Amino acid sequence: AQSVTQPDIHITVSEGASLELRCNYSYGATPYLFWYVQSPGQGLQLLLKYFSGDTLVQGIKGFEAEFKRSQSSFNLRKPSVHWSDAAEYFCAVGANGNQFYFGTGTSLTVIP
Amino acid sequence: DTEVTQTPKHLVMGMTNKKSLKCEQHMGHRAMYWYKQKAKKPPELMFVYSYEKLSINESVPSRFSPECPNSSLLNLHLHALQPEDSALYLCASSQDWGQIGNTIYFGEGSWLTVV
């Protein structure tokens, strides 16, 4: 069965520090992978997506993610975190075009 | 900026009230969705409309009634809700349903409180 795991429920980083949020998936075929961000009181905003090709994907707001098939991972990174990045981050897997699985989310706190 | 617009942003309703949530998209997408999201949890799929026809109903109680008047609009009619139905209701859309590589775009959500 398809699933998405975000091992870190909550992460705290200092402003200006680098960030990596982990995402592992379980899917038999080539997955379509997404990262969404949800700021407090807001809807979900698409940060980036991976369908095929270059395994390093650039997104909005300075985020990038790397697809590693051997590790079934799609980790999100940012070299320098800003206070406005504090939010909930969801990894998601799309399968067969009509199934969409969200991870449980990682809550990011940014301290000055 | 999201191109999926939801109204109202906040709604408080009694358990005997009838209200509606509205959603609009102008991206030419043919699939539209309703999700329910509780605090600190991922969104849960409720309904999917594809080409204005209901394709998926995830065993949602009948007190939630979706409607798709046209390809740009999606409503969620609410009646006799329970306090546990209080949540953020997210509308979303995608180019198509059942297509490989489907990307879902979300609105800002409607915060519903049932008293």
pLDDT digits (tens, 9 = 90+) for B13-45: 999 999 999 999 999 999 999 999 999 899 999
Q: Is the predicted pLDDT of residue B2 greater than 70, yes or no?
A: no
CB-based contact B39:B113 (threshold 8 Å):
no
Q: Work out the mean pLDDT of chain A and round it to a whole number.
A: 93
Contact B103 A42 (CB under 8 A): no
pLDDT of residue B100: 73
First and final CA of chain B: distance in angstroms?
Answer: 32
CA A90/CA A74 separation, integer angstroms:
11
Residue A71 backbone dihedrals phi, psi, to 5 degrees: -105, 0
Contact B98 A96 (CB under 8 A): yes
CA B99 to chain centre: 20
Q: Does A44 touch chain B (CB under 8 A)?
A: yes
Please report residues of B whose CB lies closer than 8 A to that of A37. Answer: none
Question: Omega of the bond prior to B66 within 30 degrees of 0, cis?
Answer: no
pLDDT digits (tens, 9 = 90+) for B57-109: 999 999 999 999 999 999 999 999 999 999 999 999 999 887 777 889 999 99
Instruction: Output DSSP code: residue A23.
Output: -
Q: Does A40 touch chain B (CB under 8 A)?
A: no
Nearest 5°: the CA angle B3, B71, B28 is: 45
pLDDT digits (tens, 9 = 90+) for B3-14: 999 999 999 999
Please report residues of A whose CB lies closer than 8 A to that of B40. Answer: 88, 105, 107
Q: Does A30 touch chain B (CB under 8 A)?
A: no
